[in-house]
């Protein structure tokens, strides 16, 4: 009769049966995947929030500058030069038009659209204080309608907007230079 033989078998980590090794790896991978997704979501949210905060700060600065100009105009004092914020050089500046914040690029020039109304003289002073001048119409196709009332010398300034109550027709037309209007400044792009 054969007698049974007993022995002690020890498995190393690499020799464990496949079922126990597979369950540990799957659980670790799931945890790592969940943590990676959460980290990516947090970084995306942080980037979006940073971008929105930067845009909000720029808009707030523009509104503060406009409020300062409006206060000076309403108080009857000369509008002071609005300090244009400087931005650090970046790769984008090498290929894109160069206009300060608050100015819009178009056709090699920068344009500033005011939010406040002012007379022609005060508007021009504000534009020159920002190193620009009031926008100039340079060709015949852009000229206003040259309509004049009882006094043709009165309408030497131009206005852009609705003409004769037609809300669907936006155009240039002459207006008295004494009429308070929003203004547009222009200057060349920075080289």
Give the alpha-carbon dihedral of 134, 137, 143, 146, to 10 degrees: 30
> Dihedral through CA 143, CA 183, CA 191, CA 89, nearest 10?
-150
Q: Pairing state of beta strands 157-163 and 104-106? A: unpaired
The token duo for 143 is 């000229």
DSSP state of 150: S
Q: Taking the domains of the chain in order of start, what are their residue ranges?
A: 55-84+94-188
Q: What is the pLDDT along the chain (191 residues), one digit of tens a residue?
A: 567 666 666 666 655 555 555 555 688 888 889 999 999 999 999 999 988 988 888 888 888 887 777 677 666 666 555 555 555 555 444 556 588 888 998 888 899 999 899 888 899 999 999 999 998 877 665 557 565 555 555 666 777 777 666 666 667 777 777 888 889 999 999 87
pTM: 0.44
- HSE at residue 170, side-chain half, CA atoms within 13 A, is 2
Domain boundaries 55-84+94-188, corresponding CATH code: 3.10.100
Specify the DSSP element, H or E, that contains 110: strand 109-113
pLDDT of residue 8: 67
Q: What is the pLDDT of residue 93?
A: 47
The rounded distance, in Å, linking the Cα atoms of 46 and 182 is 38
């Amino acid at each position: 009769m054969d007698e049974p033989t007993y022995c002690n078998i020890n498995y190393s980590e690499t020799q464990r049966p496949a079922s126990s090794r597979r369950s540990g790896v799957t659980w670790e991978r799931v945890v790592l995947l969940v943590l990676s997704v959460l980290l990516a979501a947090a970084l995306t949210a942080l980037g979006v929030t940073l971008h929105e905060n930067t845009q909000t700060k720029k808009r707030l600065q523009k509104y503060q500058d406009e409020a300062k100009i409006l206060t000076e105009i309403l108080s009857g004092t000369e509008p002071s030069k609005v300090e244009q914020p400087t931005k650090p050089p970046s790769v984008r500046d090498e290929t894109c038009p160069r206009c300060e914040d608050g100015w819009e690029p178009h056709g090699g020039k920068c344009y500033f659209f005011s939010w406040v109304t002012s007379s022609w003289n005060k508007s021009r002073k504000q534009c020159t204080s920002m190193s620009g001048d009031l926008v100039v119409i340079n060709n015949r196709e852009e000229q206003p309608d040259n309509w004049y009332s009882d006094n043709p010398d009165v309408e030497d300034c131009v206005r852009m907007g609705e003409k004769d109550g037609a809300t669907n027709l936006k155009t240039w037309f002459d207006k008295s230079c004494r009429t308070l209007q929003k203004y547009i400044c222009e200057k060349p792009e920075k080289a």
